[in-house]
Amino acid sequence: MLTREEILIIYDAGPEAVISVIQRLETIIEEQSIRIAELEERVKVLESRLNQNSRNSSRPPSTDFFIKEKPNPKSLRKKSGKKPGGQDGHPGTTLEVIEHSLSCCKECGHTLENVEVEAYEKRQVFDIPPVNLIVTEHKSQIKTCPYCGKINKAVFPESVKYPVQYGPNILASAIYCKNHHFIPYERIS
In the chain, where are the structural domains located? 4-58, 142-188
pLDDT in tens, 50-79: 788 777 888 887 777 766 667 778 888 888
Number of Cβ atoms within 10 Å of the Cβ of 35: 10
For residues 24 and 32, the answer to whether their CB atoms sit within 8 Å is no
pLDDT bracket for residue 171 (50, 70, 90): confident
Across the chain, what does the average pLDDT equal? 86
pLDDT bracket for residue 35 (50, 70, 90):
very high
3-class secondary-structure state, position 115: coil
Lowest mean pLDDT among 3-17, 58-72, 158-172: 58-72
Q: Please state, in angstroms and rounded to a whole number, the distance separating the CA atoms of residues 171 and 183.
A: 14
Please write the tens of the pLDDT for every residue from 116-144.
Answer: 989 988 988 877 777 788 899 999 999 99
Own/partner contacts of 176-182, CB < 8 Å, gap of 24 or more, are none
21: exposed, middle or buried (Cβ count in 10 Å: 0-12, 13-18, 19+): middle
In 3D, which of 117, 121, 123, 120 has the Cα closest to residue 103? 117
List 153's β-bridge partners, or say none: 142
- pLDDT of 75 reads 80
Q: Is 151 helix (H, G, I), strand (E, B) or coil?
A: strand
N- to C-terminal Cα distance for the chain? 101
> Range with the lowest mean pLDDT among 12-16, 137-141, 147-151, 181-185?
181-185
Cα–Cα distance list, 38 to 31, 35, 43, 45, 68 (Å): 11, 5, 9, 11, 30
Question: What separation in angstroms does the CA of 188 have from each of 95, 158, 162, 175?
Answer: 30, 26, 21, 9
Distance (Å) of CA 116 to CA 87, 110, 112, 113, 122 = 28, 14, 8, 8, 17
